[in-house]
Amino acid sequence: MKRSPWRYLWSAQDIRRKLLITLLILLIYRLAAHVPVPGANKEAIEAILARGGAGGNLLGLLDLLSGGTVSNFSVLAMGVYPYITAQIILQLLVPIIPAWQQRMKDDPREGQKWMERWTLILAVPMAALQAIGQINIFNSFSPGVPIISNFGFATAANTLNTLTVVISMTAGTMFAIWLGELISEFGVRNQGLSIIIFAGIVARIPANLLSVFANREYLIPTIAIVLLVLVGTIFAIVFVQQGRRNIPVMYPGRRMGNRMSMPVKGTLPLMVNMAGMIPLIFAQSLLTFPAIIASFFISSPVEWIKNTAISVQNIFGGNSNAYWILYFLMVVGFTFFYTNVLFQQQNYGDNLKKVGARIPGVSPGQPTQRYLNRVLSRITLPGALFLGIVAILPWLLSLIFPFISGSSALLITSAGLLIVVGVVRDLFFNIEAELKLHGYDDAVLIR
Residues 227-272: tens digit of each pLDDT:
888 888 888 888 888 888 888 888 876 666 666 667 778 888 888 8
Using CA atoms, how far apart are residues 327 and 319, in angstroms rounded to an integer? Answer: 12
Please report which confidence band the pLDDT of residue 1 belongs to, taking 50, 70 and 90 as the band edges: very low
Q: What is the pLDDT of residues 344-378, one digit of tens each?
A: 777 788 888 887 888 888 888 888 888 888 898 88
Please state which of the ranges 4-13, 34-43, 112-121, 276-285 shows the lowest mean pLDDT.
4-13
What's the whole-number mean pLDDT along residues 59-69? 64
Three-state SS annotation for 236-262:
HHHHHHCCEEEEEEEECCCEECCEECC
Among 113-122, 375-384, 418-427, the least confident range? 418-427
Model pLDDT, residue 108: 73
pLDDT value of residue 295: 65
Closest CA relative to residue 422, chosen from 232, 268, 274: 274
Which range, of 160-169, 307-316, 340-349, 411-420, averages the lowest pLDDT?
411-420
Separation in Å, CA 28 to CA 70, 295, 371: 17, 37, 48
Closest CA to 295 of 265, 280, 316, 274: 316
CB 223 within 8 A of CB 403: no
pLDDT for res 260: 62
- State the pLDDT at residue 347: 78
**pLDDT tens-digit readout, 135-163:** 877 777 766 777 887 777 778 878 888 89
* pLDDT tens per residue across span 100-128: 878 877 777 788 888 888 999 999 998 88
pTM to 2 decimal places:
0.74
pLDDT band at 403 (very low <50, low <70, confident <90, very high): low
Domains of the chain plus CATH, in order, are 1-204 (1.10.3370.10), 218-411 (1.10.3370.10)
Residue 443 has pLDDT above 50, yes or no: no
* Bridge partners of residue 247, in order along the sequence: 268
User: Between these two residues, 156 and 316, which has the higher pLDDT value?
Assistant: 156
Q: Are strands 2-3 and 443-444 parallel, antiparallel or unpaired?
A: antiparallel
What is the percent of the chain where pLDDT is above 90? 4
Give the residue among 424, 439, 440, 441 at the shortest CA–CA distance from 188.
424
Transcribe 2-44 into DSSP letters: EE-GGGGTTT-HHHHHHHHHHHHHHHHHHHHTTSBPTTB-HHH
Q: Between 440 and 19, name the one with better pLDDT.
A: 19
Check pLDDT > 50 for residue 393: yes
Determine what percent of the chain is predicted with pLDDT higher than 70. Answer: 81
pLDDT at 124: 92
CA nearest neighbour of 133 among 176, 90, 96, 170: 170
Q: Alpha-carbon distance 142 to 138, whole Å?
A: 6
What pLDDT is stored for residue 444 in this prediction? 38
Q: What pLDDT is attached to residue 167?
A: 92
Q: State the DSSP code for 92.
A: H
pLDDT at 187 over 70: yes
Mean pLDDT value of segment 50-70: 64
Q: How large is the average pLDDT for residues 184-194?
A: 79
Give dist(CA 424, CA 436) in Å, integer.
18
Centre a 10 Å sphere on the Cβ of residue 50 and count the other Cβ atoms it contains: 8
